[in-house]
Amino acid sequence: MNSYDFSGKVAAITGGANGIGAAVADRLLQSGARVAIWDLDISEPEDRLKAYAKDQLLAVQTDVSDLASVEAALATTEASFGKVDVLVNSAGIAGPTSTLAEYPADAWRAVQVVNVDGTFNTCRAVSQGMMARNYGRIVNIASVAGKEGNPNASAYSASKAAVIALTKSLGKELAGHDIAVNCVTPAAAKTRIFDQVSDDFVQFMLSKIPRGRFVTVDEIANMVVWMASEENSFTTGAVFDLSGGRATY
């Protein structure tokens, strides 16, 4: 396992109590960072996080779709840890499996509010402090669906395409500072988001992956941690593929 030195660094991870976010939090904590989890449900974090002390890991109940909630989470994190050097946007929902013609309008809006507005809210909140300190790393978790579009998942696909575009735009805006803004586009991983879609859709996603398996959350975390490190000092506005060969661009 590659190791990176995050001593003295503070990371905020949305959706960090479970799934991809929890795997990233674990790797960053192992690497010396202090981590704040911003999650709507902080009642039962994954077992891998339960051994860390309170001066290493802070859990803040946060609704990323609400800018005021995000700003309050940032204030709580800064009061405990002083700053935020790294932001990882992992919070997201899938929405129902449905054709666009029959897609519920309220479900469409719910997906955009969490996946797109949530990413906007957190990036908006932390980027100001990063610019003032002339340092920061932002990693947004997009999806291969944002590149290719999945049938019967128009809301999710559109939201992740928006995250990709937001990443490119913000990366250019902050390029004059020592701030890197990048995203990853994973294939499906076995996380709680699978509970939101049908078994048929899960099998469809698996059938599209040349590797013949789902990506693991630890494989995603391995790439994200490098992107969040000081070593990633030049690349910004980029999209890193984690689709197992499905999308080769």
Indicate whether 113 belongs to any domain.
Answer: yes
Per cent of the chain over pLDDT 70 is 97
Distance between CA atoms of 241 and 160, rounded to whole angstroms? 13
Q: Does 12 have pLDDT greater than 70?
A: yes
Range of the domain at 39: 10-239
Q: Say which CATH number the domain at 147 has.
A: 3.40.50.720
**Does 103 qualify as catalytic in the annotation?**
no
Q: Is the Cβ–Cβ distance between 243 and 220 less than 8 Å?
A: no
Classified as helix, coil or strand, 34 is strand
Indicate whether 249 belongs to any domain.
Answer: no
Mean pLDDT rounded to a whole number for the chain: 95
> CA angle, 117 as apex, 136 and 90 as ends, to 5°?
55
Q: Is the Cβ–Cβ distance between 157 and 111 less than 8 Å?
A: no
Q: Report pLDDT digits (tens) over 131-156.
A: 999 999 999 999 999 999 999 999 99
Domain total of the chain: 1
Q: Report pLDDT digits (tens) over 77-132.
A: 999 999 999 999 999 999 999 999 999 999 999 999 999 999 999 999 999 999 99
The arithmetic mean of pLDDT across residues 170-184, rounded, is 98
Q: Report pLDDT digits (tens) over 190-233.
A: 776 666 666 777 788 888 899 999 899 999 999 999 999 999 99
Q: Is the Cβ–Cβ distance between 12 and 89 less than 8 Å?
A: no
Res 191: pLDDT: 73
Among candidate residues 52, 103, 135, 156, the one labeled active-site is 156
Indicate whether 244 belongs to any domain.
Answer: no
Indicate whether 1 belongs to any domain.
Answer: no
Q: pTM to 2 decimals? A: 0.94
Distance between CA atoms of 77 and 102, rounded to whole angstroms? 41
Say which DSSP state 185 is in. Answer: E
Res 196: pLDDT: 64
Indicate whether 5 belongs to any domain.
Answer: no
What single string gives the DSSP state of each residue in 58-122? EEEE--TT-HHHHHHHHHHHHHHHS---EEEE--------B-GGG--HHHHHHHHIIIIIHHHHH
Indicate whether 82 belongs to any domain.
Answer: yes
Res 123: pLDDT: 98
Res 194: pLDDT: 66
Q: Is the Cβ–Cβ distance between 228 and 137 less than 8 Å?
A: yes
